[in-house]
Chain A
Amino acid sequence: QKEVEQNSGPLSVPEGAIASLNCTYSDRGSQSFFWYRQYSGKSPELIMSIYSNGDKEDGRFTAQLNKASQYVSLLIRDSQPSDSATYLCAVRKSGGSYIPTFGRGTSLIVHP
């Protein structure tokens, strides 16, 4: 089992719909979770971080964390074509250097 798992997609949604991106992780002691957006040929850009169980909202983005199920998700409301990108889930390890482990990313396509 990989440490951080994401469906590679692509996930295709129509403009204006809700896009739901999911991530599972194996390190039960992890405390910090991050969602990065990466446009093709560009570097990852942090869009959301979450540390406690429950929901965290920031504009059109909502991150959801369930530590018991070792599951973190990202919801994008009112999806726009400009949201089309790869979304990377990163989980900070609970020991050692606490280096974040990244999933392979989910490709999101928002079509007009």
Chain B
Amino acid sequence: GAGVSQSPRYKVAKRGQDVALRCDPISGHVSLFWYQQALGQGPEFLTYFQNEAQLDKSGLPSDRFFAERPEGSVSTLKIQRTQQEDSAVYLCASSLDWPAEIQETQYFGPGTRLLVL
């Protein structure tokens, strides 16, 4: 079946603009994660949803970052008043039902590469 999809794949924003990044998880996956990956670094956790409930947003770096998943499927990560330090790849991952089993794994989408000028 189809994997995790993300759009847009690339986004260039001027500093101060708002951006919205979309994630379509694998069909039937209850759990959805957002990560930020800076150049040369591993993915850093931002936030996690179980269905429409945002269970953990401890990784969001500031109140400019907001995520939602209103119907428990598609999710949107919104960054307000973008700054240059927001430039990174934003990865979305989904999982069948995290963290029900220790064998539960995450499947990543292709990412959105954000460049803030």
Contacts and interface: CB of A to CB of B under 8 A. Distances in A.
Contact of A45 (B42, B44, B108): B108
B40 A8 contact: yes
Interface string A21-43: 00000000001101010000011
B91 interface: yes
Contact of A97 (B42, B48, B102, B107): B48
A44 B107 CA distance: 8
Nearest to B55: A97
Interface string A82-111: 000000101010001111111111000000
Contacts, number: 57
B65 interface: no
B105 A44 contact: no
B105 A99 contact: no
A34 B99 contact: no
Interface in B56-81: 56, 59
Nearest to A88: B42
B99 A97 contact: yes
B103 A96 contact: no
B111 interface: yes
Contacts of A104: 40-42
A99 B33 contact: yes
Interface residues of B, number: 25
Given A98-B98, A99-B56, A32 B110 contact: no
A92 B43 CA distance: 13
B42 A102 contact: yes
Interface string B11-54: 00000000000000000000001010000111111001000000
A46 interface: yes
Given A97-B48, A99-B33, 15 more contacts: A36-B108, A43-B91, A43-B108, A43-B111, A44-B91, A45-B108, A46-B106, A51-B102, A88-B43, A90-B42, A97-B55, A98-B99, A99-B59, A104-B41, A105-B42
Interface of A: 4, 6, 8, 31-32, 34, 36, 42-46, 49, 51, 88, 90, 92, 96-105
